[in-house]
Amino acid sequence: MGQGAAGWRGRGIEIFEPSPHDHRGVQGEAMPYPKLIAVYLLVVLAPMPVAAQDNPIVARIEAFQAAYNAKDAQGIAGFYTERGALLPPQSKALVGREPIAAHYASAFGQGVGALEVRILEIDQVGPSTAVEIGETSVKAGGRTVHGRYLHVWKKVGEDWMLDRDIYHVLGVSK
């Protein structure tokens, strides 16, 4: 999915999904069944994974994951805008790169690592703003912590930077 005049859409919700029960075309005339099947397959197959070259947010998340897995707290903080905010569960908001770096350094010091990210949706909502929703898993003390996050990305110069990052824990498994 490339970037067009209206921006790019990532994974997840599409703007228009015709009902598979609607046998009418765009102009209201009856749609032949082979065409209906083709449209249905396009709707079903459309939310295919977005490649990093198609969406800069995907590339940024992959780089974020690499920094996390290298336990590079300062590198992670570099993904945030200067006044970026991290809103961890059951904690106060951490605003700015230094408190964010300290948060990740503390987590790494407690043995947290092996981040896996699954992007569910990316939506560019303006020329310099995008919203991303995803799920994560991290290893911590022999267990796997599963979570969900919402990122607000802002374009600063040519780079997409995290401006708001909120996450919560969905559960813990062995």
Query: What is the tens place of the pLDDT at every residue in 86-130?
Result: 999 999 999 999 999 999 999 999 999 999 999 999 999 999 999
Which of 116, 132, 106 has the alpha carbon at shortest distance from 64? 116
Instruction: Report the C-alpha gap between 121 and 128 in whole angstroms.
Output: 17
More confident residue, 33 or 145: 145
Which of residues 20 and 104 earns the better pLDDT score?
104
Phi, psi of 28 (to 5 degrees): 100, -5
Percent of the chain with pLDDT over 70: 70
pTM of this prediction?
0.70
Helices H / strands E in the chain, number of each: 4, 6
Range with the poorest average pLDDT among 38-47, 61-70, 78-87, 155-164? 38-47
For residue 67, the Cα-to-chain-centroid distance in whole angstroms is 16
For the purposes of burial, counting CB atoms within 10 Å of the CB of 158, is it exposed (0-12), middle (13-18) or buried (19 or more)?
A: exposed
CA distance 159 to 127: 12
Q: Could you tell me the pLDDT band of residue 30, with boundaries at 50, 70 and 90?
A: low
Cα 70 from Cα 99, distance rounded (Å):
19
Average pLDDT, the chain: 80
Instruction: Pull the structure tokens for residue 15.
Output: 């703007």
Q: Which residues contact 124 (CB under 8 A, 6 or more apart)?
A: 3, 7, 8, 9, 130
Residues 6+ apart with CB under 8 A from 81: 154, 156, 161, 162, 163
Q: Please give the CATH number for the structural domain made up of 56-173.
A: 3.10.450.50
Q: What is the pLDDT of residues 58-76, one digit of tens each?
A: 999 999 999 999 999 999 9
Range of lowest pLDDT (45-49, 93-97, 159-163): 45-49
Q: What is the pLDDT of residue 101?
A: 98
pLDDT at 36 over 60: no
10-24, 27-41, 108-122, 144-158, range with the lowest pLDDT: 10-24
**Encoded tokens for 3:** 């970037």
Give DSSP secondary structure letters for 134-152: EEEEEEETTEEEEEEEEEE
